[in-house]
Structure 1
Amino acid sequence: MNLDALALPYLEALGDGVYAIDTGFHRPRYDAAYLLVESGRAAFIDTGTNFAVPRLLAALHALGLAPDDVDYVIPTHVHLDHAGGAGLLMQSLPRATMLVHPRGARHMIDPTALYLSALSVYGADEMQRAYGQLHAVPARRVRTPADGETVDLAGRPLRFIDTPGHARHHHCIWDERTGGWFTGDTFGLSYREFDTTEGAWILPTTTPVQFEPDPLRRSIDRLLAAQPRCMYLTHYSRVQGVPRLAELLHEQIDAMVALGLALRHAADRHAQLVQGLRALYRGQLQRHGITADSATEALALDIELNAQGLGIWLDRRADRRPR
């Protein structure tokens, strides 16, 4: 390893060959990719956007690894803050195979529909500014691990499980060495600026368009069944004290569902969802020992996206009711 590797401001060593890379998306310490290193071989888990790729390759080089040393690129799911740069990254990693959820593979092989879906949410200017053009991955370089399948990284087992609730194309990856799950968005969002003497604070993410509360609850419980020592979140980095955080996630999922159902017929539903979520998180943070109004301002993007996702869930739920 290059002794200057950890001087890279966006590279954090978490121990046992696990490195978090701040992708630079939106703001510092918001979006992480992970580099997992074992016996000279490597895997990236989540990649951030196209604009993160130079950081990922620089981290690889700083750790004394070459592009040929990467065996796998593993998006937890195909939302663009997790997989938007995966296609471009694969172009620099000639021996890597992409391991993606079976429901997400087609979007990595042909990202047209994925791009158009995101375009409808964010608009052309924001897509260009934040994500750039998506790059296809040749089908021959894509594998889709089955639920429960274990993949070997230089003798280090990585087990994949299907974890819907945030997205139907989401899997999580169990690293037996550290007793931790790479959770993407299934185990919510936890930003390090909200850490206190009580530990981390966490909130669920209902980002459009596939939030489903009951599957999400079951996915969280399935992660807990392994008795993990830690979780590696994309937003952001490693958290511990997992049982307490899981309880908090369940509590907030219930509260968010109740808020959505109470406002399902409101004429200004989205604005009221935003207001209600802001009040919910402010109360949660105050109980956690954080009272500054700037705390909920830091959550402005997540509140907006969670409100959008709750609205889509409410509309889908209404469409399924008998008429």
Structure 2
Amino acid sequence: MLPTDAFLQTHGDGIHVVDTGFHRPHFDAAYLIVEDGRAAFVDTGTNHALPRLLAALEALRLGRDQVDWVIPTHVHLDHAGGAGLLMRELPRARMAVHPRGERHMVNPARLMASARAVYGDKEVARSYGEVVGVAPERVVATHDGMTLNLAGRALRFLDTPGHARHHHCIWDERSGGFFTGDTFGLSYREFDTEQGAFMLPTSTPVQFEPDALRHSVLRMLAMQPRWMYLTHYGPVDDVQRLGKQLLDHLDAMVALGQSVAAAADRHRALTDGLSRIYLERLRRHGCTMDDSGVLELLAMDIELNAQGIAIWLDRLVKR
């Protein structure tokens, strides 16, 4: 097993970042919030992350019975796939999940079928394993404005659709930050430059809704957060600049989708267009990685974003 310091970093304010090991280093984070001897996980990664999550508790000298909450930001498998398996190891923990995601955490059959439809049977088996359900009596459905108490520390939930309708973000007043899941987009450390972090939206299928996403992002920015705790990847500051960049990229992705909606090979037009957008904007950001390196790093995101935009376009036609 990796040394703990290879996948566990302490951010401050009792917040610890666990690299779940999914896909590549510094791609998928789970967070462990510790307050006065009690703890909560926000996002869990996949089933394969379980040894790292438990090792993080051991490194911080926390017993498994000291974890009160497991909180998926939404039920996509890179965020919640390992939540059921983790809950089996945490005797006192309850799960706080968006009400639209509650049934999928209790009975993940439809969740798994949806993942197989997007990724294929072989990839789901390799990357995620079989998601384990959670006993319904251990699950709490959140609502907009709801607050959980973690040893006196307030964790407040905001309903934040746009990436997915089953998405909430968690406001941590203590640190002045949001645990954002995918609502506030992706920012990979490989793209950091002297200008700071680089942010782009994620339109992963099947519930991408750009108007709702814009509203969710603006609502979060209005609270003047000091930090955004991203699942992909890690804490970022300079939040207002990144929010503006995120919304600008969202507009560009929407415009691209509308411009190629009737293209004969729409998927190819979308992936080519997204590649151009990201390469051009990364060059302006001061990124010196060569084009092939950028496109390799973003290959999965480009593919999934194209799929999500296409589904959104098809939904518009049906209205």
What is the number of equivalent residue pairs in this alignment? 316
Find the residue that maps to 2:183 and give its secondary structure.
Answer: coil
> Displacement of 1:6 after TM fit?
8.4
**2: CA distance between counterparts of 1:149 and 1:128?**
35
Q: Which residue of 183, 193, 198 maps to 2:195?
A: 198
| Equivalent residue number for residue 223 of structure 1 | 220
| Equivalent residue number for residue 298 of structure 1 | 297
Residues 193 and 285 of structure 2 are in contact (CA less than 8 Å); yes or no, is this contact kept in structure 1?
A: yes
> Displacement of 1:16 after TM fit?
1.0
**Aligned pairs (5 A) from 1:171-182:** 171-182=168-179
Find the residue that maps to 1:159 and give its secondary structure.
Answer: strand
Render the CA deviation track for 1:153-192: whole Å, top value 9, x for unaligned.
0010000010000000000000111100000000000001
Q: Does 1:256 align with 2:260?
A: no
Residues 76 and 170 of structure 1 are in contact (CA less than 8 Å); yes or no, is this contact kept in structure 2?
A: yes
Q: Does 1:235 align with 2:229?
A: no
**1: CA distance between counterparts of 2:143 and 2:55?**
32
| Equivalent residue number for residue 58 of structure 1 | 55
Render the CA deviation track for 1:91-136: whole Å, top value 9, x for unaligned.
0001000000000000000000000010111111101100001100
What amino acid is aligned across from residue 27 of structure 2 in structure 1?
Y
Residues 6 and 13 of structure 1 are in contact (CA less than 8 Å); yes or no, is this contact kept in structure 2?
A: no
Render the CA deviation track for 1:123-152: whole Å, top value 9, x for unaligned.
111011000011000000000121001110
| Equivalent residue number for residue 107 of structure 1 | 104
Residues 22 and 32 of structure 1 are in contact (CA less than 8 Å); yes or no, is this contact kept in structure 2?
A: yes
| Equivalent residue number for residue 139 of structure 1 | 136
**2: CA distance between counterparts of 1:142 and 1:7?**
30
**1: CA distance between counterparts of 2:184 and 2:3?**
27
Q: Does 1:48 align with 2:45?
A: yes
RMSD: 1.0
TM-score normalized with structure 1 length: 0.97
Q: Does 1:70 align with 2:70?
A: no
What amino acid is aligned across from residue 110 of structure 2 in structure 1?
A
**1: CA distance between counterparts of 2:3 and 2:130?**
30
What amino acid is aligned across from residue 118 of structure 1 in structure 2?
A
Residues 76 and 172 of structure 1 are in contact (CA less than 8 Å); yes or no, is this contact kept in structure 2?
A: yes
Q: Which residue of 27, 46, 66 maps to 2:24?
A: 27
Q: Which runs of 5+ in 2 are unaligned?
A: none
What amino acid is aligned across from residue 305 of structure 1 in structure 2?
L
**1: CA distance between counterparts of 2:157 and 2:238?**
22
> Displacement of 1:8 after TM fit?
2.5
| Equivalent residue number for residue 309 of structure 2 | 310
| Equivalent residue number for residue 120 of structure 1 | 117
Find the residue that maps to 1:134 and give its secondary structure.
Answer: coil
What amino acid is aligned across from residue 137 of structure 2 in structure 1?
R
What amino acid is aligned across from residue 248 of structure 1 in structure 2?
Q
| Equivalent residue number for residue 92 of structure 2 | 95
What amino acid is aligned across from residue 32 of structure 1 in structure 2?
A
**1: CA distance between counterparts of 2:189 and 2:198?**
8
| Equivalent residue number for residue 157 of structure 1 | 154
Find the residue that maps to 1:8 and give its secondary structure.
Answer: helix
**2: CA distance between counterparts of 1:239 and 1:136?**
32
**2: CA distance between counterparts of 1:102 and 1:145?**
6
Residues 4 and 56 of structure 2 are in contact (CA less than 8 Å); yes or no, is this contact kept in structure 1?
A: no
**2: CA distance between counterparts of 1:230 and 1:127?**
32
Find the residue that maps to 1:193 and give its secondary structure.
Answer: helix
What amino acid is aligned across from residue 80 of structure 2 in structure 1?
A
Q: 1:141 to 1:7 in 2, by over 3 A?
A: closer
**1: CA distance between counterparts of 2:276 and 2:296?**
12
**1: CA distance between counterparts of 2:75 and 2:102?**
9
What amino acid is aligned across from residue 133 of structure 1 in structure 2?
E
What amino acid is aligned across from residue 316 of structure 1 in structure 2?
R
**2: CA distance between counterparts of 1:99 and 1:12?**
24
**2: CA distance between counterparts of 1:146 and 1:6?**
38
What amino acid is aligned across from residue 299 of structure 1 in structure 2?
L
| Equivalent residue number for residue 266 of structure 2 | 269
TM-score normalized with structure 2 length: 0.98
Q: Does 1:214 align with 2:208?
A: no
What amino acid is aligned across from residue 235 of structure 1 in structure 2?
H
- 4+ residue stretches of structure 1 with deviation over 4 A? none
Residues 200 and 239 of structure 1 are in contact (CA less than 8 Å); yes or no, is this contact kept in structure 2?
A: yes
**2: CA distance between counterparts of 1:295 and 1:265?**
28
